[in-house]
Chain A
Amino acid sequence: MFLIWYLVACFGSAIVVPVFSNVSRKAAAWFAIGIAALGFGWGVSLVGSPVTSISLPWLPDYGIQFAFRLDSYSLLFWLLITGIGVLVLDYADKYMGEKPAGRLLGWLIAFMASMLAVVSADDAITLFVAWEATSLSSFALISIKFTDEKSRKSATQALLVTGMGGLFLFGGLLWAGVENNTFQLSQISSLSGLALVLITIGCFAKSAQWPLHFWLPNAMAAPTPVSSYLHSATMVKAGVYLLGRLSPVMGFQPVIHWFGLITAFWGATLALGERDLKKILAWSTVAALGQMVALVGLGTETAAKAAVLLIFAHSLYKAALFMGAGLIEKATGTRDMTQVGGLAKPLRPLAIAFAFAGLSMAGFPPLIGFVAKEAALEAFSGLSLAVFVASSALGCVVAWNVTYLPFWRGEAPETVQSLKLTEWGGIGLLSGLSLAFGIAIPLIGGALLGPAASSLSGSEIAKKFSLWHGFNFALLFSVLVLVVGFLLATQSLWIRTTIEGVRKRLTPSTGWETFAKNGLKAILTSGWDFSRVVIKTSFRQHLELYFVAFLGLGLLIFLLKGFPIAFWHGPTPTPIDVALAVFASLAAIAALFVPSRLGTVTLLGIVGVSITLTYVKFSAPDLGLTQVLVETLTVVLFVLVFAYLPRFTSISTKSQKVKDLALALGFGSMMGALMLGVFTFGKESTISNFFAEQSVPGAKGSNVVNTIIVDFRALDTFGEITVLAVAAMGVHALVRLRLQSQGRTG
């Protein structure tokens, strides 16, 4: 229950902190840090204890619960999120300097809470809600400098890519839920191919796997605290987390494995071609995520162990490097690593901290990164091993570029000020931990990482965690990685210019980002063109479309369903009937072609009279009377307003008229066919008999039509009267309001 209250408290303080920050900036920051520390402390207290779970009913009819379950695997993430959260919040407060930090801190806490909910959710819908909350809060965080167009664009891109992934995930989770008849993640026992593919795409988008990787470096437009938290330590690991969570169910997945390896290699390569420190780190994050995904895709116990180690090690060193990059930018005013150098002198502590983080990244003993790399080398074999070795070697070069070049080469400008302990303390702590955990690996392995790996792989892992595995292949490859890495590092300048050259030639015409952008652009252009057509065409053309669609639908039903039309089996039509029908039709057709207004009105009048006579012929005098009044009035009104109408012009071309004729004929035939059908299969109405019987005794009237109108169905009449009143108001308003506006302007 603490878990839920804690999450609620987090979201609450996400609102409170920005408001409170206006009153006391310091206290608000301490409050924010305190909240994160509380979560971390609670997490530490859970290490070694059995699984914590809680579930509240949410929508029992749909099998949806508000359920959380914190096993060792989730707990590992929980500790990373809250632990790094404490440091990042502190860092963010200092980073903002004198500027107001309330909004940034608030969103960071909201993000932290969403992320915690993702890693502890035990219900697919709960998980998805939290997942989208991380996307939304990351949108807010990336666009926190929202008046800057670039921030807005990057934030939108990140939201769209992760949002798209979210929808795949949503589809996958729903389908898995329907198949397994439960949304409880710990109860899901099998995943069909479809569900797996959808969920994987969702995770790939979130964890920036190739080819959905391009949004992550662009998200570096965010302030550095945001990048170091979201884009290294936590949010991007959500995809890895979920794949790992489902790992016991999905087992070995070669596709996931290979996509991960491609990403690992590609990310490391691109990292070498950048100058901007944050972009370098972003691409190397992509590479590390690729390695994790590749391990999770393997599904073996050794892979699970390696994955957990890698997640742990990466969070520690990458958060340190990102925060350090922010400090470098602060001190020198640039993040371009070719512009800075010799920073080791003024920024000595930072240089040392960076060195340790870099060594962990390169996989140098005795840091934790080394243990992770060893474990991964054991897990891979064959071609995947080769790719992994290559990407790791490139990773070493990246580590060199980031930690050596800015600090130990060249001269620093005079203006660079040394840093205070409070500024670099967090970074130093993380780097120190990378070292400490490397040495104390049996301890941390036994307490936290071992159980986490076990629950990741779904079976108890007996293997011990240790720094020294003896002389074996893994060690050999480890050394190989470092040697190759070092050799390449000496050529890093050449590598960078080469990659830059190649990329300059390729982009912007190729690449997945361009592909996605062009796709969106094509959609938008077609949408715009479409809406222009809709606006530009008149309702006359719209109506044509409606008619065609209507006739098409009718034809489709006729053809597929069909009903046998028995031709007329009532009384034989008399010559008068035939004459009236022919008369009406001829007049209607002629009205199309008469070149004068008076002629058209007269012909329409003839149509009306023919219909009136037909009513009379079939003994419906009331109808006939009404019709004759309507027809007469129409003609009279027409003639009355003739004087006010513009000159008669024929706006339809001949082909237009032919089209109209065809539509009219089609419409008429269809209605005719339907009428015949009704006559053939229709039932005698029981209702009209009732009306006839009840007219005098019940409704006290001898004219049944009258009693229907004023008694049996009086409500209809009431409604129609209302319609008339509205029409009158409309005419009044149209005439008067327009006259007024004309009067005012003219």
Chain B
Amino acid sequence: MIVALPVLTPLLIAALMICLWQSPKARIGVSILGGVLQLVLGVALFAQVLPAGHLVTQFGNWPAPFGISFVADYLSAGLVLMTGVLTLAMIVTSNVDVDSRRRQYGFHPLFFVLIAGVCGAFLTGDLFNMFVWFECTLLASFVLLSLGGEKKQVRGGLQYVVPNLFGSVIFLSGIGLLYGATGTLNFADLHQKASLVHPGLLASISGLFLVCFGLKAAVFPFFSWLPTSYPTPPPVITALFAGLLTKVGVYALVRTFTLVFPMEGIIQTVLITLSCLTMIIGVVAAASQKDFKHILAYHSMSQIGYMTAGLALGTKFAFAATVLYMIHHSLVKANLFLIAGSVERTSGSSELPSLGGFHKARPFLAILFVLMAASLAGLPPSSGFWSKLFVVQSSLRIEQFVVAGVMLAVSLLTLFSMVKVWNEVFLKEPKEPIPPLKSAVDHWPIAFVAVTVLLFGFWIQPFSDYALEVGQQLSTPQIYVEAVLGVAR
């Protein structure tokens, strides 16, 4: 039952929020309660999965593969826990960042539906059900994105939703074709039946999934929706998106290409190539931007390349690296957007030329930024350093020198753009004096996420142990299949 709670609870909270449409004070209270609950549930689920390996719930008690299964393995549980951390940080920040007008028009319920959709996608063991959670996430994020109806938001919203709907169409077509070819939708069952399908046909169908999940993850050339839409809404919404949405795409790629489709041959080559292009193009564009949020948005795209490359390499160590990278990047990037948000709230802009002086005016924020930026650039000993180390090492292990080289070169430009932000936003003399901090709530959530990231960096052992366990599980899908379908089958 615990497996379904991270999805059902936020939905319940969302419903409650709709009932509280007229009482803004109560909504804030309930929202913080919801954030705490999400984190608690994440921890609880993780603690239960840790000894068991897999936890499975069959909805309506219909046996798999006939009903819908929810499966929490190490990967899913870890991502749900990460979602919990971010949920709490974001919901607290949203109370200072999102204006009352937006809160009045359903920010809170939408937020929790989004969280439910993300967790649903992480936990479901059924391909079509995953599509449903994807739609949930997509629509909630679209409305959040355009909530407020500013002109740039509506434009950004369209840039976001139309390409994503294209992705959904491909996803749905893929599901139809795969169901036609295998006659099942359950991941575990698909694992068994997919091997019986003609390899050429299976590869073609897997191409559809590569495209639609690649689009959700913003892999080149399916990336344009990300940099055009991310900088438009209030920063906390962007932070939420940057932390979670693209990761759902990466997760779906990992899930399907370890469990259902073989990662080999042309598909592998294509994914490796696209990953490298994503890294390079993203970082080159990021380094050239002149706006804090735009820099971060393009980095989101660039960093996705590391994760998909890890998946494409296809070894146990590479999977472990991918998972570490996902968790690291979610936390760090979301936090950087929160910092950008705090800067924007103070100065009224996120354009580098008009900023400056935050080192003196906000020393605590400066320290937090340095920690996060160093982590994003992969400087030791941060979460980003370890993630980079593992992913580069696993590509060297199988002698993929070009991939390793690209990863290292890209991190130099990442460092460059972080130094650029540091110089322009923090060190440079400000044009106008910076007003004193209004409320300390501004920095708490950032510090909270930063502590998690620091823990990751300085006490890497448990994280790497966990990641290796995930790698082990992903490279031996039989265990997953047995856990879902039962050993006897």
Spell out A's residues near B (CB within 8 Å): 58-59, 61-62, 125, 128-129, 132-133, 136, 139, 143, 146-147, 149, 152, 156, 159-160, 163-164, 167-168, 170-171, 174-175, 177-178, 194, 520, 523-528, 530-531, 534-535, 537-539, 542-543, 545-547, 549-550, 553-554, 556-558, 560-563, 671, 674-675, 677-679, 681-688, 690-691, 694, 698, 711-716, 719-720, 722-723, 725-727, 729-730, 732-734, 736-738, 740-741
Interface residue from A132, A177, A678, A741 paired with B201 (Cβ < 8 Å):
A678
Are B203 and A531 touching (Cβ within 8 A)?
A: no
How far does the Cβ of A172 sit from chain B's closest Cβ, in whole Å?
A: 10
Interface residue from A177, A523, A734 paired with B413 (Cβ < 8 Å):
A523
Bound: A560/B289 CA distance, A = 39
Interface residue from B129, B177, B286 paired with A527 (Cβ < 8 Å):
B286
Are A152 and B221 touching (Cβ within 8 A)?
A: no
Answer whether residue B113 sits at the interface, using C-beta atoms and an 8 A cutoff: yes
Are B207 and A557 touching (Cβ within 8 A)?
A: yes
Interface residue from B143, B158, B173, B270 paired with A733 (Cβ < 8 Å):
B143
Chain B residues positioned under 8 Å from A711 (CB to CB): 60, 62
User: Interface on chain B toward A: helix, strand, loop, or mixed SS?
Assistant: helix
Are B393 and A62 touching (Cβ within 8 A)?
A: yes
Are B136 and A539 touching (Cβ within 8 A)?
A: no
Bound: A163/B373 CA distance, A = 14
Given A159-B415, A174-B389, A715-B129, 20 further pairs, Cβ under 8 A: A143-B427, A177-B393, A527-B284, A542-B225, A546-B211, A556-B270, A674-B208, A682-B182, A712-B66, A716-B68, A716-B128, A722-B116, A723-B135, A729-B110, A732-B106, A733-B105, A733-B106, A734-B149, A737-B105, A737-B148
Bound: A136/B287 CA distance, A = 19
In the complex, what residue of chain B is closest to A156 when comparing beta carbons? B419
Are A686 and B135 touching (Cβ within 8 A)?
A: no
Bound: A659/B205 CA distance, A = 25
Answer whether residue B198 sits at the interface, using C-beta atoms and an 8 A cutoff: yes
| Pairs of residues from A and B, 5 with the lowest C-beta to C-beta distance, nearest first | A685-B183, A563-B200, A527-B288, A730-B143, A719-B132
Q: Assuming the A-B contacts A553-B207, A716-B132, A729-B109, are A671 and B173 also in contact, with contact meaning beta carbons closer than 8 angstroms in the complex?
A: yes
Chain A residues positioned under 8 Å from B68 (CB to CB): 713, 715-716
Are A730 and B146 touching (Cβ within 8 A)?
A: yes
Chain B residues positioned under 8 Å from A558 (CB to CB): 204
Chain B residues positioned under 8 Å from A674 (CB to CB): 177, 201, 204-205, 208
Are A539 and B159 touching (Cβ within 8 A)?
A: yes
Are A737 and B147 touching (Cβ within 8 A)?
A: yes
Are A178 and B266 touching (Cβ within 8 A)?
A: no
Interface residue from A146, A550, A725, A738 paired with B170 (Cβ < 8 Å):
A550
Chain B residues positioned under 8 Å from A534 (CB to CB): 224, 227-228, 285
Q: Assuming the A-B contacts A163-B412, A546-B215, are A561 and B289 also in contact, with contact meaning beta carbons closer than 8 angstroms in the complex?
A: no
Spell out B's residues near A (CB within 8 Å): 11, 14, 18, 59-60, 62, 65-68, 101-102, 105-106, 109-110, 113, 116, 120, 128-129, 132-133, 135-136, 139-140, 142-143, 146-150, 158-159, 162-163, 166, 170, 173, 177, 179-185, 193, 196-201, 203-205, 207-208, 210-211, 215, 221-222, 224-225, 227-228, 265-267, 270, 281, 284-289, 294, 298, 359, 374, 379-381, 385, 389-390, 392-393, 396-397, 401, 404-405, 408-409, 411-413, 415-416, 419-420, 423, 427-429, 460-461, 464-465, 468
Chain A residues positioned under 8 Å from B401 (CB to CB): 194
Bound: A575/B112 CA distance, A = 52
Bound: A58/B298 CA distance, A = 34
Are B196 and A683 touching (Cβ within 8 A)?
A: yes
Chain A residues positioned under 8 Å from B170 (CB to CB): 550
Are A737 and B149 touching (Cβ within 8 A)?
A: yes
Are B136 and A726 touching (Cβ within 8 A)?
A: yes
Chain B residues positioned under 8 Å from A159 (CB to CB): 415, 419
Interface residue from A553, A677, A719, A725 paired with B198 (Cβ < 8 Å):
A677
How far does the Cβ of A13 sit from chain B's closest Cβ, in whole Å?
A: 18
Interface residue from B11, B142, B163, B390 paired with A542 (Cβ < 8 Å):
B163
